[in-house]
C-alpha cells in the first residue's frame, strides 16, 4: 500500500491513493470518514484527465493511529509531507468539512508556491467556536457534548450523527439506501482517540488569519440545508474573506452533499478545476 512518512514527532505513515495523470488534485476528507468518501469524485477527475491523490488523515482510514498530533498545525505538516514527498506542483487542494481546515492552515503556513487553486466544500472555516469576537459561533458545550458522546458510546453517537450528516428522511425513497451504512463502516474503523481529538481541533481552531493569506483562485461549495456546518457561519463567511472566491450554493443540500448531490458537486468542482 502506498504510504508517506510524516515529519512530525513521533513519525508516522499516511496512506494515500494515487490515480491518473495530469494536473494533481489532492482530496482531503471530512470527519469521521476517510479517502473512501471521495470515490465518485476520484473516478470523475481521473476520467477528466487529472491526477488524483486522496489520502487518509492520521488516525483515520488506513493511516497510522498515533495518540497525539490531532491539531491543524500537525495536519498541515502532514499535508506538506505528502506534497513534497510526491513532489507535487500546480496542485489543486480540495477539502471537505474539517478537511477545509487543512486547506486553510496549509496555505496560511506554507503558502501557495506548489498550489494553483483551492476548494472548500461544506468546510469548517473560518471559525466554528463562539467567542467574544465570533458571537455567532457555537458554544464550547456543543463540541464538548460531541466528545463526551463519542467517549461514552462511539458507535451509537456516530450512528445518530450520520443520520444528520445526510439529513436522512426515512420517507424519502430517492435517498441512496447504502449511504449511511457505508459511512458508518468508514467511521467505525477510525481511531477512537483521533475521533475525539478531531472534534476539539475543528471545533476550536480559528482559520480567519489563514484565509486572509489566500491569493489563489478559490471555490467555496456549500449546501443551504447543511445542519452540521451551517452555511451562514462558514461557507458564506469564507467566500467573503477570500478575495475573488467563487461561492456555489446547492439549495436543499445537506452536509453530506458529495453523496446526496454527488453529480452536481462533482460538476462544480470540475468546472472550477478546468477554468
Q: What is residue 69's predicted lDDT score, i.e. its pLDDT?
A: 96
Give the confidence band of 174 by pLDDT, cuts at 50, 70, 90: confident
> Domain 3-274 in CATH: superfamily?
Alpha/Beta hydrolase fold, catalytic domain (3.40.50.1820)
| Percentage, residues of the chain above pLDDT 90 | 95
Show me where the domains of the chain are located: 3-274
Q: What is residue 9's predicted lDDT score, i.e. its pLDDT?
A: 80
Give the confidence band of 259 by pLDDT, cuts at 50, 70, 90: very high
Annotated catalytic residue 226? yes
First to last CA, the chain: 33
Residues 6+ apart with CB under 8 A from 155: 188
Residue 11 cell numbers, joined: 513519525
| Percentage, residues of the chain above pLDDT 70 | 100
Instruction: Reply yes or no on whether the pLDDT at 251 is more than 80.
Output: yes
Instruction: Reply yes or no on whether the pLDDT at 1 is more than 80.
Output: no
What is the arrangement of strands in the sheet containing 3-5, beginning at the earlier edge strand?
3-5, 13-19, 51-55, 24-28, 91-96, 115-121, 218-223, 246-250
The cell 480567519 sits on which residue?
Answer: 208
Does residue 111 contact residue 82 with C-beta atoms inside 8 Å?
no
C-alpha to C-alpha distance for 8 and 26, rounded to whole angstroms: 20
Instruction: Reply yes or no on whether the pLDDT at 171 is more than 90.
Output: no
Annotated catalytic residue 222? no
pLDDT in tens, 194-222: 999 999 999 999 999 999 999 999 999 99
Q: What is residue 173's predicted lDDT score, i.e. its pLDDT?
A: 84
The active-site residue, picked from 29, 35, 255, 261, is 255
Give the confidence band of 172 by pLDDT, cuts at 50, 70, 90: confident
The active-site residue, picked from 63, 97, 191, 234, is 97
Annotated catalytic residue 29? no
List of long-range contacts for 135-140, beta carbons under 8 Å, 24+ apart: 136/232, 136/233, 137/233, 138/203, 140/203, 140/204
Q: What is residue 177's predicted lDDT score, i.e. its pLDDT?
A: 85
Neighbour count for residue 64 (Cβ, 10 Å): 18
pLDDT in tens, 102-116: 999 999 999 999 999
The active-site residue, picked from 56, 62, 206, 226, is 226
pLDDT in tens, 40-62: 999 999 999 999 999 999 999 99
Neighbour count for residue 241 (Cβ, 10 Å): 19
pLDDT in tens, 97-146: 999 999 999 999 999 999 999 999 999 999 999 999 999 999 999 999 99
Amino acid at each position: 500500500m502506498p504510504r508517506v512518512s510524516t515529519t512530525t514527532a513521533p513519525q508516522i505513515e499516511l496512506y494515500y491513493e494515487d490515480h491518473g495523470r495530469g494536473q494533481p488534485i489532492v482530496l482531503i476528507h471530512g470527519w469521521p470518514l476517510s479517502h473512501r468518501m471521495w470515490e465518485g469524485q476520484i473516478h470523475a477527475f481521473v476520467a477528466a484527465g487529472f491526477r488524483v491523490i486522496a489520502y487518509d488523515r492520521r488516525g483515520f482510514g488506513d493511516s497510522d493511529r498515533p495518540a497525539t498530533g490531532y491539531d491543524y498545525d500537525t495536519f498541515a505538516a502532514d499535508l506538506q509531507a505528502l506534497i513534497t514527498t510526491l513532489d507535487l506542483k500546480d496542485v489543486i487542494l480540495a477539502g471537505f468539512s474539517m478537511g477545509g481546515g487543512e486547506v486553510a492552515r496549509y496555505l496560511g503556513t506554507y503558502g501557495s508556491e506548489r498550489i494553483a487553486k483551492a476548494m472548500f466544500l461544506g468546510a469548517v472555516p473560518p471559525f466554528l467556536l463562539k467567542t467574544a469576537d465570533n458571537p455567532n459561533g457555537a458554544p464550547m458545550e456543543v463540541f464538548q457534548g460531541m466528545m463526551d458522546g463519542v467517549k461514552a458510546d462511539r458507535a451509537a453517537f456516530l450512528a445518530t450523527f450520520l443520520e444528520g450528516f445526510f439529513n436522512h428522511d426515512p420517507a424519502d425513497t430517492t435517498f441512496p439506501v447504502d449511504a449511511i451504512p457505508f459511512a458508518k463502516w468508514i467511521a467505525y474503523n477510525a481511531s477512537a482517540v483521533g475521533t475525539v481529538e478531531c472534534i476539539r481541533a475543528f471545533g476550536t481552531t480559528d482559520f480567519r488569519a489563514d484565509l486572509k493569506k489566500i491569493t489563489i483562485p478559490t471555490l467555496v461549495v456549500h449546501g443551504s440545508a447543511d445542519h452540521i456546518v451551517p452555511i451562514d457561519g462558514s461557507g458564506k463567511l469564507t467566500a467573503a474573506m477570500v478575495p475573488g472566491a467563487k461561492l456555489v450554493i446547492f439549495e436543499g443540500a445537506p452536509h453530506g452533499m458529495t453523496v446526496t448531490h454527488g453529480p452536481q458537486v462533482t460538476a462544480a468542482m470540475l468546472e472550477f478545476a478546468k477554468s
